[in-house]
Amino acid sequence: MIDLQATGDGLEGYALLAAQLQALLAGERDFIANAAQLSAFLYSEVPDLNWAGFYLNRNEELVLGPFQGKVACVRIPFGKGVCGAAARSRSTQRVEDVHAFAGHIACDSASNSELVVPLVKDGRLVGVLDLDSPLTGRFTAEDQVGIEQLVAIFLAATDL
């Protein structure tokens, strides 16, 4: 696990993760395989996560995809919870305290903060990448930039 805080400004650690992710996904274009790999990679390399995975856009509803962590909510309507807000707005949601987020869906009561990045390719919302942490305020602006860069690598390496 890379200590993202000890590598300077945090983005240096994400640069190392980006290089590792490019190598991990090299030569494979399948969405399910790459999503499963990215979920496992993030879960093992980013500290203080208790869930890392995907929800996929299925007719304006998010449906559970590859993930690491405890069992999860299977379906999330657009606009509901942090994932639904990211899907509807197509913008990253970084929430310091999910319990203060209006409409939060508690799939795991141990989760206290969340970072959700929409997956948009060719103008189409494919789904979202969801990261949960048991720590309140776990995700910084640097984490957001770093994870968004990893999502861009995933989207470029994957057939959708």
12-28: pLDDT as tens digits: 899 999 999 999 999 99
User: What range does the domain containing 80 cover?
Assistant: 32-139
Q: Taking the model in full, what pTM does it have?
A: 0.93
Q: How far apart are CA 110 and CA 133, in angstroms?
A: 8
Q: Which residues, in sequence order, are CB contacts of 109 under 8 Å at separation 6+?
A: none
Domain-located, residue 8 = no
Query: What pLDDT shows up at residue 107?
Result: 79
pLDDT at 7 over 80: no
In this predicted model, which residue has the larger pLDDT, 3 or 66?
66
Using one digit for the tens of pLDDT, what is the confidence trace for 49-105?
A: 999 999 999 999 999 999 999 999 999 999 999 999 999 999 999 999 999 998 778
The identity of residue 149, as a single letter, is: Q
Residue 102 lies in a domain: yes
Is residue 6 predicted with pLDDT exceeding 60?
no
Number of domains in the chain: 1
In a domain, 14, yes or no: no
Confidence of residue 4 (pLDDT cuts 50, 70, 90): low
Asked if the structure places residue 90 within a domain, the reply is: yes
| CATH number (domain holding residue 52) | 3.30.450.40
Q: What is the CA radius of gyration of the chain?
A: 14
d(CA 10, CA 51) in angstroms, rounded, equals 21
Q: What's the whole-number average pLDDT of the chain?
A: 93
